[in-house]
Amino acid sequence: MILFWIFKGLFDAVEDRRKDNKKSMIANIVFVIAGLGILVWQGIQFFLYK
């Protein structure tokens, strides 16, 4: 589910850049960074506590 959120956010950010909608593009990039952070955090927990 988080991977879908990341890909959708990236796709929307690229579309917003084409349409010159910078506020929405920045919001989508923040969501993508948050999703990547969650994936990295969960991956580290999985490998450390396995």
Give pLDDT tens digits for 4-41: 999 999 999 999 999 999 999 999 999 999 999 999 99
Give pLDDT, residue 33: 97
Question: Is it the case that residue 50 has pLDDT exceeding 90?
Answer: no
Q: Is the dihedral of CA 31, 3, 47, 45 positive or negative?
A: positive
Distance CA 27, CA 42 (A): 23
Three-state SS annotation for 7-45: HHHHHHHHHHHHCCCHHHHHHHHHHHHHHHHHHHHHHHH
> Residue ranges of the domains in the chain?
2-48
The pLDDT of residue 49: 86
Q: What is the pLDDT of residue 23?
A: 95
- Residue 42, pLDDT > 80, answer yes
Angle between helices 22-48 and 2-18 (to 10 degrees): 160
The pLDDT value given to residue 37: 97
